[in-house]
Amino acid sequence: MTDIKQRVAAVTGAGGGIGLGIAERLARAGYQVIAMDRDAKVNEAVAILSAEGLKVQAVVLDVADEAAVKKAVADIDAQHGRLDVLVNNAGIHPKVNGERNSFMKMTTAQWNEVLGVNLTSAFVLCREVAPLMKRQRWGRIINMSSRAGRTLVDTAGIHYAAAKAGMIGMTRVIAAEVAADGITANCIAPGRIVSPMTDQGSAEQRAMLVGRIPVRRIGTPDEIGHVVQFLASEDAGYLTGTVIDVNGGTFMC
């Protein structure tokens, strides 16, 4: 069993919001964390964590760029010789004036942009990382879906919902294929979590959405990070191909 302080975790979309919360939670648990984001703000976020003595490394990466993703994985392997945990969290949800775009008005380019970042990038990363995990006979793949991938969410565009539902199906196939190699693959489906994405829309809209959450509040990135930390642990070794809903009770309504 590898000591947790020797384990390396890569988190995409880690420049803020849920991704940064996950990166911080894993770093505080002792992991060497590679925080990836296409926005250079990830450097500032990581500098703050590094100043506390946490082992966090920033990588500016557009996950929709396949060549750049392959190079990033190769660089991790060259520098650390391993990758134990992959968290596919990067995601976008462009809206028009704070509202979802009707599928009848959506262009193919808009569809492809969201599917490329939210789903295809996760496929490419899983494909590139799996051989490293297989080599060490241990690994944890954690893919971020959404409540919109589980049920109808009236604020979610068709491209976003399709990508998040696809993430669940993809994760199950991966889980089945790599289970015998000591690798697990699971999904987390967050509900409304504090992030720049959930800050879209008017104050009235946000208040209405909070009123629909049984626990009457929005979740925090650290609460998602806590679930990721569990899925990344030895204790979660018998858990694979699952979806964990973290939404304050909204999926049961």
First vs last C-alpha separation in the chain: 41
98, 100, 162, 184 from 197: Cα distances, Å? 10, 12, 17, 29
Q: Which two tokens stand for residue 144?
A: 């971020």
Q: Which two tokens stand for residue 32?
A: 């060497």
Distance of alpha carbon 4 from alpha carbon 233, whole angstroms: 9
**Residue of 14, 33, 42, 160 marked catalytic:** 160
Distance of alpha carbon 84 from alpha carbon 95, whole angstroms: 35
Asked if 42 contacts 14 with a C-beta cutoff of 8 angstroms, the reply is: yes
User: Is 160 assigned a catalytic role?
Assistant: yes
Q: Which two tokens stand for residue 150?
A: 């589980």
Annotated catalytic residues are: 160
